[in-house]
Amino acid sequence: MSSIKLWYSPGACSLAPHILLKEIGVDFEAIGVEVRQGAPEELRKVNPKMRVPVLVLDNEVITETPAIMTAISQLAPEKHLFGKTNMEVIHSYEWLNWLSGTVHVQAFGGLFRPARFSDDAGMYAAIQQKGWKTVQECFDAVEAGLHSAHAVGADLTVADPYLYVFYRWGVSGGIDMPARYPKYAALVAKLVKRSAVQAALKDEGIESHAPEVSGVPVVRQHARPLTAD
């Protein structure tokens, strides 16, 4: 592979593949754009869907986070980023599909981007309220679905950095994540110790939003649900 490029936006879902590229230790170019107020026009030439992340391997353009994670994993099969056994691979895809389709698009999409769900601006508040409720239901499901410091198996897989993205968004939204979701917080506390995570955060110029090792959260705020990351 002679050229690897990742289009990302600071703190967006693209943080997950950004971390994975650091994990596998390849040289790549990280191209930052800001999408909070909508994707910039320059993104259209590489992804007509106007979304990050976008991975470009030589001349091959890959969009959609689960596909991008699959491509990164295939660059370093020895890292077993989808797990070591067939069942771990299956569970990794189970997490990816749910995180991408339900947690991101349905829950946070309703909260941050109500215009995707209705052309009637009068509906936005109701859509955001439902999105906020769904976010918390999803976090309850994450907490119930975690049984160790990793989402799948005994080591890091693609599910861990993807879960981290939504943990950060939960903190940004004012949820006391360590108090309400201690297993989720423990996964994040362990994850952020990795040099790959620290390097990706530094590149993106963002805070970790991770709990202190002691379990005392860095951020304690009252619920402030209707803000975008």
Ligand X SMILES: N[C@@H](CCC(=O)N[C@@H](CS)C(=O)NCC(=O)O)C(=O)O
Question: What residues line the site for ligand X (CB under 6 A)?
Answer: 9, 12-13, 35, 38-39, 50-53, 64-65, 100, 113
Pick the closer one to ligand X by CB: 50 or 218: 50
Pick the closer one to ligand X by CB: 65 or 134: 65
Least distance from ligand X to the Cβ atom of residue 19, Å:
14
Q: Find out whether the peptide bond into 40 is cis, omega within 30 degrees of 0.
A: no
Pick the closer one to ligand X by CB: 28 or 166: 166
State both tokens at 145: 């679905």
Could you tell me the CA-to-CA distances from 116 to 36, 78, 84, 105, 124 in Å, in that order?
14, 39, 38, 10, 10
Least distance from ligand X to the Cβ atom of residue 195, Å:
24
Least distance from ligand X to the Cβ atom of residue 184, Å:
19
State both tokens at 210: 């991770």
- Of 205, 225, 209, 227, which Cα lies nearest the Cα of 9? 205
- Of 32, 151, 150, which Cα lies nearest the Cα of 99? 151
State both tokens at 176: 């006391």
Least distance from ligand X to the Cβ atom of residue 9, Å:
6
Pick the closer one to ligand X by CB: 92 or 189: 92
